[in-house]
Amino acid sequence: MPETKKKVIAFNGSARKGGNTAILLGYVLKELEDEGIETELIEMSGVKIHGCTVCGKCRTNKNRRCAITNDVGNAYIEKMENADGVLLGSPTYVTDVTPEIKALIDRACVVSKSNGGIFRRKAGAAVVAVRRAGGIHTFDTLNHFFLITEMIVPGSSYWNIGYGMDKGDVEKDAEGIQTMKTLGKNMAWLLKKIGD
């Protein structure tokens, strides 16, 4: 039987399409593709996504989806469920993630918990862009999602954070870019080990 290709889905939570977070994610995705892994990048810029409303319906419906059906939430949760690995990227906004990516992780987390852990043992990694300070807190917020949903988190040579303010500035952060490349290699290695 031919081996089916592993897939990684990446979400860029930035309000700025193609900005620093997208560039950093691109370096990770390139390494994954070089290792034969299929990738997809979703830009959340301009996307409308509501936070968890605590309606509790995911606990009773148990249909692996959120009861909010008039936004992109369920389409994104389905993409995550169908992937072997998930990358969550966010710029640092007032020392934390963007509201769009927070809405996604809150809803995906509660849906997963209500359905016995739909992301268990997938690979998950965070990517953060920051101008100056607060990046580590943003990184922590994203990693809490992977850890509470029982995903496996590959590391890199440093925390997965790139520095820059204006679009493209992160290209000047050589260590940040190397960190993303190493993350991509480590995530590819992990994906080949898990889920066989």
Segment contacting ligand FMN by CB under 6 A, of 15-23, 35-43, 52-60, 72-80: 15-23
DSSP per-residue letters across 49-73: --------HHHHH-SSS-S--SSSH
**Residue 141 in the binding site for ligand FMN (CB under 6 A):** no
Distance from chain centroid for Cα 44: 11
Under 8 Å between Cβ of 77 and 107? yes
Asked whether position 16 contacts ligand FMN by CB under 6 A, the answer is: yes
Q: Which of 10, 14, 156, 191 binds ligand FMN (CB under 6 A)?
A: 14
Is residue 95 involved in binding ligand FMN (CB under 6 A)?
Answer: yes
CB neighbour class for 82 (10 Å; exposed up to 12, middle 13-18, buried from 19): exposed
Chain residue at closest Cβ approach to ligand FMN: 19
Residues 143-172 that bind ligand FMN (CB under 6 A): 164-165, 167
Residues 20-39 touching ligand FMN, rule: CB under 6 A, are 20-21
Backbone angles phi, psi at 9, to 5 degrees: -105, 130
Q: Which residues bind ligand FMN (CB under 6 A)?
A: 14, 16, 19-21, 91-95, 129-134, 164-165, 167
